[in-house]
């Protein structure tokens, strides 16, 4: 699922997605953000009649990973995501989008897909145009684990594949959660200070790991759905046992260390500050990034 990136990148990523993605905030993060932001999902638009599909174009890294894992012969088009460039799993597949640029409609149509999967709030125009061309589309918006499971089952049905191996991976991931955990505050941006509530992928992830997210039940005026703006005074009042700082390439932790309130927090005084990658905690990104986040959270 940020100001130097979050107002710049997180603004790009969350508007409409976390309406829900990468290392330099302007390069892979900002570029991936528009493509994968909506992965950070709530539900899948169910099809009344689901027919098996043979050729799939996925416009987000998560859905590309899911389709490829369920059936590696059905995926024909992918986004230009850095997460899909690691290793050779996706080598040779047509890249139909790059960065913040709209997906290439001509490339997509030329692949003659039976299904194109896009993110709600980010690929609406492309999916609408494809629908007009009689190409079946699926809009996803993943904001929690239940939505991830629902999406997996839906894709498996469309592919005629068995979702159980993935369900087992999800269960193994969440099985690492401790029974109880200390209070925690997640910070994804400095100006303004932004933190996820329960209506976000990050918020649900913390809940699944029994972390006492101090902003879980808060609502505010933040323009980013699932996130609230915190004044420094509120952070001091909350005074969490630990702080989780999301790094996106702008050295957020180093910036926060320069703020007067930072040294007054219990977590900073006890060295209970932990950094997390954007992918996995804020934006699911891929199966690997989700599982890496499970491992990281289990070690807190």
**Predicted local confidence at residue 128, as pLDDT:** 97
Task: Give 104: exposed, middle or buried? Use CB within 10 Å, 0-12, 13-18, 19+.
Answer: middle
Token reading at 43: 């539900």
DSSP state at residue 180: -
Residues 6+ apart with CB under 8 A from 124: 118, 139
Task: Give 149: exposed, middle or buried? Use CB within 10 Å, 0-12, 13-18, 19+.
Answer: middle
Distance between CA atoms of 231 and 272, rounded to whole angstroms?
21
Residue 79 has pLDDT above 90, yes or no: yes
Dihedral of the alpha carbons of 123, 217, 296, 150, in degrees to the nearest 10: -50
- CATH 3.40.50.1980 residue ranges in the chain? 44-167, 183-298
For residues 42 and 81, which has the higher predicted lDDT (pLDDT)?
Answer: 81
CATH of domain 44-167: 3.40.50.1980
Nearest to 63 by CA among 102, 21, 106: 21
226 pLDDT band, cuts 50/70/90, is very high
Distance between CA atoms of 7 and 55, rounded to whole angstroms?
37
| Length reported for the chain | 300
Instruction: Give whole-number Cα distances, 69 to 66, 85, 252, in Å.
Output: 5, 15, 34
Question: Do the Cβ atoms of 154 and 44 come closer than 8 Å?
Answer: yes
Residue 81 has pLDDT above 50, yes or no: yes
Q: What is the mean pLDDT of the chain?
A: 86
Residue 222 has pLDDT above 50, yes or no: yes
Question: Do the Cβ atoms of 159 and 53 come closer than 8 Å?
Answer: yes
Distance between CA atoms of 24 and 21, rounded to whole angstroms?
11
Average pLDDT over residues 106-110: 97
Distance between CA atoms of 16 and 40, rounded to whole angstroms?
11
* pLDDT digit string, tens, across residues 190-215: 989 999 999 999 999 999 999 999 99
Q: 164-174 and 145-159 helices cross at what angle (nearest 10)?
A: 160
111 pLDDT band, cuts 50/70/90, is very high
**Predicted local confidence at residue 167, as pLDDT:** 98
Distance between CA atoms of 135 and 90, rounded to whole angstroms?
23
SS3 242: strand
Average pLDDT over residues 46-60: 81
Nearest to 140 by CA among 108, 170, 167, 117: 117
Q: Where are the alpha helices (DSSP H) in 116-163?
A: 124-132, 145-159
Nearest to 148 by CA among 69, 73, 40: 40
**Predicted local confidence at residue 247, as pLDDT:** 92
CATH superfamily of 183-298: Nitrogenase molybdenum iron protein domain (3.40.50.1980)
Other Cβ atoms less than 10 A from the Cβ of 215: the count is 26
* pLDDT digit string, tens, across residues 143-194: 999 999 999 999 999 999 999 999 999 999 999 999 888 999 999 999 899 9
248 pLDDT band, cuts 50/70/90, is confident
Average pLDDT over residues 45-73: 87
Nearest to 242 by CA among 272, 206, 202: 272
Tell me whether the omega of the peptide bond preceding residue 192 falls within 30 degrees of 0, making it cis: yes
Q: Residue 262: phi, psi to the nearest 5? A: -60, -45
**Predicted local confidence at residue 177, as pLDDT:** 95
């Amino acid at each position: 699922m940020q100001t130097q990136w979050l107002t710049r990148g997180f603004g790009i990523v969350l508007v409409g997605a976390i309406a829900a993605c990468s290392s330099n905030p302007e390069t892979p993060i900002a570029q991936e953000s528009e493509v994968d932001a909506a992965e950070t999902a709530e539900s899948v638009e169910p099809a009344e009649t689901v027919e098996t599909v043979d050729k799939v174009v996925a416009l987000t890294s998560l859905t590309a990973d899911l389709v490829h894992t369920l059936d590696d012969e059905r995926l024909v088009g992918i986004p230009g995501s850095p997460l899909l460039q690691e290793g050779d799993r996706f080598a040779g597949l047509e890249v139909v989008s790059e960065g913040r640029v709209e997906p290439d409609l001509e490339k997509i149509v030329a692949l003659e897909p039976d299904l194109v999967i896009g993110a709600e709030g980010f690929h609406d125009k492309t999916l609408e145009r494809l629908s007009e061309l009689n190409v079946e589309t699926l809009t996803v918006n993943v904001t929690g684990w239940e939505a991830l499971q629902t999406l997996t089952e839906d894709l498996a049905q469309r592919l005629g594949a068995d979702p159980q191996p993935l369900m087992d991976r999800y269960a193994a991931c969440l099985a690492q959660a401790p029974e109880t955990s200390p209070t925690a505050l997640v910070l994804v941006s400095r100006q303004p200070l932004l933190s996820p509530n329960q209506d976000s992928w990050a918020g649900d992830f913390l809940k699944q790991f029994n972390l006492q997210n101090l902003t879980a039940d808060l609502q505010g005026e933040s323009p980013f759905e699932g996130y609230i703006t915190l004044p420094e005074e509120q952070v001091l009042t909350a005074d969490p046992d630990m702080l989780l700082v999301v790094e996106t390439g702008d050295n957020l932790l180093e910036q926060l260390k320069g703020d007067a309130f930072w040294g007054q927090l219990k977590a900073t005084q006890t060295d209970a500050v932990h950094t997390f990658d954007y992918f996995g905690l804020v934006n699911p990104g891929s199966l690997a990034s989700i599982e890496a986040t499970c491992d990281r959270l289990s070690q807190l």
